[in-house]
Structure 1
Amino acid sequence: MEFGTVITQVGEVIDILGVVAIVVGVLYALADAAIRRLRNLGPVYTRFRRVLGRGILIGLELLVAADIIRTVAVTPTIESVTVLALIVVIRTFLSWSLEVEISGHWPWQKARYAAIDEGASGAVAGAVPRE
């Protein structure tokens, strides 16, 4: 088997994994929201958005990885690299805005929010709160 063919197939497998990650994320978010709604366990909508966003983020990361593998490993042309660059910029913007939606603050404010959380609750800075 030729190297380019193998790399293309690897890219396709990672593409499929990206789509599966998004679908599983959606299904998990829906099931989690339904269970929380039926049992009246706290805010359903905000948690649903956060869980859904995480699933989409993982899927987007895998899709970007697949695009990079296919474009860079198989004889890159100016056109294919330009298309890859546009795809990466668009998906990075989507990932970044989803991260802001999930966390509720800009990425460069993480240290500030961790310090506020530590002062308010006595928790360790940077610790992820349990849900």
Structure 2
Amino acid sequence: MKEIIERIGEVLDFAGVLVIAAGTAIATVAFVVRYVRVWRVGDSYRLFRQDVGRAILLGLELLVAADIIRTVAVSPTFQSVGVLAVIVAVRTFLSFSLQVELEGRLPWQPKQAPAGTQEPGS
């Protein structure tokens, strides 16, 4: 049973790395296409950063899941759980930071209406 769980963790690790690599490659191709079509670096670069950030966020989620599965199911010692806590804390901080950078606001702040639109009742 431990071998199966270890394999599942390895598959999730591989999937996380694959998502980050593929997402970055796709974002790069999209950046080049946008840049060639529009010839404006600012908008293209901002969208590129958002696309890469989303790929990293998704990949981090898979990597955290793999760590949790392997640590809790395969070797649940106090030391391994402590190491897992540190890894999850670092990856959570990275995810939070990326999310704030992508959205340009803290999660508890309300979303701003797009420019040119009015809020109901105005």
TM-score normalised per structure 2: 0.90
Q: 2:2 corresponds to which letter in structure 1?
A: G
**2:35 equivalent in structure 1:** 37
How many Å apart are 1:75 and its aligned residue? 3.3
Tell me the alpha carbon deviations over residues 53-112 of structure 1, each in whole angstroms, 9 at most, x when there is no partner: 000000000000000000011130011000000000000000000001110100111xx2
RMSD: 1.9
**1:65 equivalent in structure 2:** 65
Gaps of 5+ in 2: none
Q: How does 1:1-131 map to 2 (within 5 A)?
A: 3-40=1-38, 43-109=43-109, 112-113=110-111, 116-117=112-113, 121=117
Aligned residues: 118
Tell me the alpha carbon deviations over residues 8-28 of structure 1, each in whole angstroms, 9 at most, x when there is no partner: 000000000000000011101
**Higher relative contact order (Cα pairs below 8 Å, separated by 6+ residues):** 2
How many Å apart are 1:123 and its aligned residue? 8.0
Given the superposition, is the C-alpha separation of residues 100 and 34 from structure 1 closer, same or farther in structure 2, using an over 3 Å criterion? same
Gaps of 5+ in 1: 125-131
Q: C-alpha distance in 1, partners of 2:32/2:114?
A: 32
Q: 1:36 corresponds to which letter in structure 2?
A: R
Which 4+ runs in 1 deviate beyond 6 A? none
Report sequence identity in percent: 48
Q: C-alpha distance in 1, partners of 2:116/2:8?
A: 47
TM-score normalised per structure 1: 0.84
